[in-house]
Structure 1
Amino acid sequence: MEWQQAIKGFKSYLKLEKSMSANSIQAYSRDIDKLKQFSESQEVIIKPIAISLADLRRFLTWLSELGMLPTSQARILSGIKAFYKYLLMEDEIKIDPSELLESPKTRRKLPDTLSMLDIDNLINAIDLSKPDGARNKAILEVLYSCGLRVSELTELRISNLYLDIEFIKVVGKGSKERLVPIGGSATKALKIWLDEVRVHILIKKGEEDLVFLNRRGTRLSRVYIFMLIKDLAEVIGLKKKISPHTFRHSFATHLVEGGADLRAVQEMLGHESITTTEIYTHLDRDYLKSTIIQYHPRS
């Protein structure tokens, strides 16, 4: 089996069997393409089914010598493991060479968060006199109120809004659905956008059910959401480097800081593993440490 054939089959498997999004499939493909480049850089090109554990270890060394950070190496390794799991399942190989491969040791970076004041300032910086003002306010309110990924926001459907009972249905990674509560401020901003502004847009066929549209009646891009938040941060002079994901981090951190159950936060974020959610307990630890220092008789 040649590299192109193996990669093509792997992409079909991710799409049809794992129901992954186009962005995820593209990311996995890039990971395997790096391994393909490594194999082609050797004196004798190594076919995908001939790769050994020793080859994969040399591949990680190769990535490191290229200047790639351990976190990036670990992410690529995740894609490689999925690739060889696929080849094993297809009986193209008898032994998974990646099974005993250890990930590079990484330090888990705590995500940046916004304070409530930061969030208020960003939302208040939106010029509501402009045609897209109501929409942009609704975007930020929903990002923070529901902790959505940017792709979940751009794909949000009107048919999945249950504003009368204050819930929305979100289609996340792997087409997995979850119900997320939505707060009063976000509901109000959404209704203004939907009932007073969006109704006047000529919508392109096939996009009728999407919540957020541009002036041409087509879906918003992920890049637009990034640029919107970056521009608002500049307007208020916010020095933090923020993105749409920062609102998701802030949503989770503020919930945990307020005493929310981790399992409930896990459900709302759509995390498969509780360990992913546990990163948001960092502020709680700081609070507990200061409380112990202040009040414990033996401190």
Structure 2
Amino acid sequence: MAGSVQAATTAGDQGTTALGRAISDYLQHMAVERGLAANTVAAYRRDLKRYQHFLEQRSVDDPAKISRHDVTAFAQVLSDGSDGASALSVRSAARTIVAVRGLHKFWSLEGISATDPATDVHPPMPGKRLPKAISVGEVTRILEAVSTETPTGQRDRALLEFLYSTGARISEAVGLDVDDVSVETIDEGPVVVRLLGKGSKERLVPLGSYAAKAVDDYLVRARPGIVAKGRGTPALFLNARGGRLSRQSAWTILKTAAEKAAIGRDVSPHTLRHSFATHLLEGGADVRVVQELLGHASVTTTQVYTLVNADTLREVYAAAHPRALG
């Protein structure tokens, strides 16, 4: 509730003109009726403040008088910065146009304007970003770079093995409690982990034997001593004081291991997630299975990982197809 009130407060500062009041009504709707987070509403407000300023420069101060030409002209200035503000990247421009389209749809539905001039104005298509994966050998070097001679070392090894074995987001891993991990096999199958992903969507993910052993060793040999230093938190991965490990600390653990392994590129927790997906697909896993393991709502999101294998696909095609080579 406090977040909604804060968002609603943030929403109502676009000005006293008819245009400003209509934008404020939309932001109020997004904050209160749609329940968007304060930070999200603030981002919408910034984007629409630029749109409002652009329209006022064109002497358009009434929502009902905005034309499709006005909207398309605004889309153009987002790219070239000709309105005096900074030119935006494709992704940032797309986000702003999405906000403008939502604004006009709301105005149309509420009868503030008779038509929706933005309905056919689409945001620029961002280029596909190929996930940055590292090789299996590089992953192995990172994992083996962690010394397990100390309790925190055993925790670090368990954490990194866990991230690569499950493809979990870093927030999912540090949010785990001990009870979320089934250290006993189910029907003689692999250990199973319960992950809580985006939108509080729960999924079950198998834990490979290397990761299962690392987590079990940590639970038996290291965690009892670490948790005794704190207040008995149920968290699986603990910091040195016995509290729940933070995302920042988990990032540092991986960064330190990658440096020790002399990996010549930036490695983040998301790198292990990307590598998890890429290596599964290279090993023949079905993209829909990988989708379930990653917790993607749409298989389209997962399919971007298949682009990573383009070189491999070309090599296989050239070697296997009877008419690939003349």
TM-score category (smaller protein): 0.7 to 0.9
Q: Report matched runs for 1:51-130 at 5 Å.
A: 57-64=72-79, 65=81, 66-75=86-95, 77=97, 87=106, 91=110, 99-130=119-150
Q: Is 1:224 aligned to 2:249, yes or no?
A: yes
**Are the counterparts in 2 of residues 52 and 97 from structure 1 also a CA contact under 8 Å?**
yes
Q: Is 1:293 aligned to 2:318, yes or no?
A: yes
User: Higher mean Cα deviation, 265-274 or 5-14?
Assistant: 5-14
Q: Report matched runs for 1:7-86 at 5 Å.
A: 7=27, 10-11=30-31, 25=37, 28-39=40-51, 41-42=53-54, 44=56, 57-64=72-79, 65=81, 66-75=86-95, 77=97
Alpha-carbon distance between aligned partners in 2 of 1:4 and 1:73, rounded to the nearest angstrom: 21
Q: Is 1:185 aligned to 2:210, yes or no?
A: yes
User: Higher mean Cα deviation, 268-277 or 279-288?
Assistant: 279-288
Give the secondary structure class of the aligned counterpart of 2:46: helix
What is the root-mean-square deviation in Å for CA atoms of aligned residues?
Answer: 3.3
Aligned-residue offset at 1:37: 3.5
**Structure 2-normalised TM-score?**
0.74
**Are the counterparts in 2 of residues 31 and 79 from structure 1 also a CA contact under 8 Å?**
no
Alpha-carbon distance between aligned partners in 2 of 1:29 and 1:75, rounded to the nearest angstrom: 13
Aligned-residue offset at 1:122: 0.7
Residues 168 and 112 (structure 1 numbering): CA distance in 2 closer, same or farther, change over 3 Å? same
Q: Which residue of 2 aligns with 1:22?
A: none
Q: Report matched runs for 1:134-213 at 5 Å.
A: 134-165=154-185, 166-200=191-225, 201-202=227-228, 208-213=233-238
Aligned-residue offset at 1:167: 0.9
Aligned-residue offset at 1:193: 1.8
One-letter amino acid of the structure 1 residue matched with residue 207 of structure 2: I
Alpha-carbon distance between aligned partners in 2 of 1:147 and 1:259, rounded to the nearest angstrom: 16
Q: How many residues align?
A: 289
Alpha-carbon distance between aligned partners in 2 of 1:98 and 1:33, rounded to the nearest angstrom: 18
Q: Is 1:239 aligned to 2:264, yes or no?
A: yes
**Are the counterparts in 2 of residues 125 and 236 from structure 1 also a CA contact under 8 Å?**
yes
Alpha-carbon distance between aligned partners in 2 of 1:122 and 1:297, rounded to the nearest angstrom: 41
Alpha-carbon distance between aligned partners in 1 of 2:94 and 2:238, rounded to the nearest angstrom: 36
Alpha-carbon distance between aligned partners in 2 of 1:295 and 1:13, rounded to the nearest angstrom: 57
Aligned-residue offset at 1:274: 0.9
One-letter amino acid of the structure 2 residue matched with residue 33 of structure 1: R
Say which structure, 1 or 2, has more relative contact order (CA 8 Å, 6+ apart). Answer: 1
Aligned-residue offset at 1:155: 1.0
One-letter amino acid of the structure 1 residue matched with residue 167 of structure 2: G
Q: Is 1:273 aligned to 2:293, yes or no?
A: no
User: Higher mean Cα deviation, 118-127 or 70-79?
Assistant: 70-79
- Deviation readout 1:21-50 (Å, 9 max, x if unpaired): xxxx46633531331441464474999987
Structure 1, unpaired ranges of 5+ = 17-24
2:279 to 243, 250, 254: 254
Alpha-carbon distance between aligned partners in 2 of 1:62 and 1:68, rounded to the nearest angstrom: 9
Structure 2, unpaired ranges of 5+ = 1-20, 186-190
**Are the counterparts in 2 of residues 3 and 47 from structure 1 also a CA contact under 8 Å?**
no
Give the secondary structure class of the aligned counterpart of 1:107: coil
Aligned-residue offset at 1:56: 5.1
**Are the counterparts in 1 of residues 145 and 257 from structure 2 also a CA contact under 8 Å?**
yes
One-letter amino acid of the structure 1 residue matched with residue 276 of structure 2: F
Residues 12 and 247 (structure 1 numbering): CA distance in 2 closer, same or farther, change over 3 Å? farther
Residues 101 and 259 (structure 1 numbering): CA distance in 2 closer, same or farther, change over 3 Å? same
Alpha-carbon distance between aligned partners in 1 of 2:157 and 2:54, rounded to the nearest angstrom: 53
Residues 76 and 202 (structure 1 numbering): CA distance in 2 closer, same or farther, change over 3 Å? farther
Give the secondary structure class of the aligned counterpart of 2:205: strand
Aligned-residue offset at 1:181: 0.9
One-letter amino acid of the structure 2 residue matched with residue 255 of structure 1: L
Identity in percent: 34
Aligned-residue offset at 1:123: 1.2
**Structure 1-normalised TM-score?**
0.80
Alpha-carbon distance between aligned partners in 2 of 1:204 and 1:89, rounded to the nearest angstrom: 56
